[in-house]
């Protein structure tokens, strides 16, 4: 998801560019392909290019209860500054940005938003995804997916309030 910003870097502060995004990338690094769609707006600032993106995709998730995989729409919006590594006019190396984690524009003036897109979608991914709110999960005894029907295991009455009564028998 890279864009050549050499022209924009030569323009005056406040100059802008708009990009439509429709690209497929491996968002999670696990070999799955995610189609990312949306728009990015770029502004030339004195020291950088400010990138504002609004993107959406579908993320493949694994349900934390039944371990079934399912797709869920995800949206992100972000503002990030990308710092040039070379002076656009002289070609001289510029000092690295103050924050080590800042995004940079490479020496060929390519601004690549892929890493930012990955990080923001990762943050938008639920920690304990559920395929549906009332997912019944797996039977702890036989492992059957209880969304697909009951298993043959005896009903488990380990409610502690009943355990004492069971002892009396």
* DSSP 8-state assignment for residue 149: -
Residues 6+ apart with CB under 8 A from 143: none
Among 12, 142, 166, 168, binds Zn ion (CB under 5 A): 142
Q: Within positions 19 to 78, which residues make up the interface with Zn ion, using CB under 5 A?
A: 63, 65-66
Are 2 and 110 spatial neighbours (Cβ–Cβ below 8 Å)? Answer: yes
**Does 135 sit near Zn ion (CB under 5 A)?**
yes
Find the shortest distance in angstroms from Cβ 165 to Zn ion. Answer: 24
Token pair belonging to 135: 């997912």
- Distance (Å, rounded) from C-alpha 40 to C-alpha 55? 8
Among 125, 141, 148, 157, binds Zn ion (CB under 5 A): 141
Contact range with Zn ion by CB under 5 A, out of 9-17, 43-51, 90-98, 130-138: 130-138
Among 25, 50, 124, 139, binds Zn ion (CB under 5 A): 139
Alpha helices (H) along 16-159: 114-123
**Does 15 sit near Zn ion (CB under 5 A)?**
no
- Distance (Å, rounded) from C-alpha 108 to C-alpha 110? 5
Q: Which residues bind Zn ion (CB under 5 A)?
A: 63, 65-66, 131, 135, 139, 141-142, 144, 151, 153
């Amino acid at each position: 998801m890279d864009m050549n910003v050499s022209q924009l870097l030569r323009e005056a502060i406040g100059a802008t560019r708009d990009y439509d995004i429709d690209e497929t990338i491996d968002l999670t690094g696990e070999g799955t392909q995610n189609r990312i769609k949306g728009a990015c707006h770029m502004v030339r600032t004195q020291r950088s290019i400010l990138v504002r993106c609004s993107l959406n995709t579908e993320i493949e998730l694994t349900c934390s209860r039944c371990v079934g995989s399912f797709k869920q729409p995800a949206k992100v919006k972000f503002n990030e500054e990308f710092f040039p590594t070379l002076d656009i006019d002289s070609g001289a190396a510029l000092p690295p940005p103050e924050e080590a984690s800042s995004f940079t524009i490479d020496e060929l003036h390519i601004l690549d938003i892929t890493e930012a897109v990955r990080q923001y979608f990762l943050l938008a991914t639920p920690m304990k995804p559920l395929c549906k709110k009332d997912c019944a999960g797996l039977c702890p005894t036989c492992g059957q997916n209880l969304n697909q029907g009951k298993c043959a295991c005896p009903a488990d009455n380990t409610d502690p309030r009943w355990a004492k009564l069971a002892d009396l028998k």
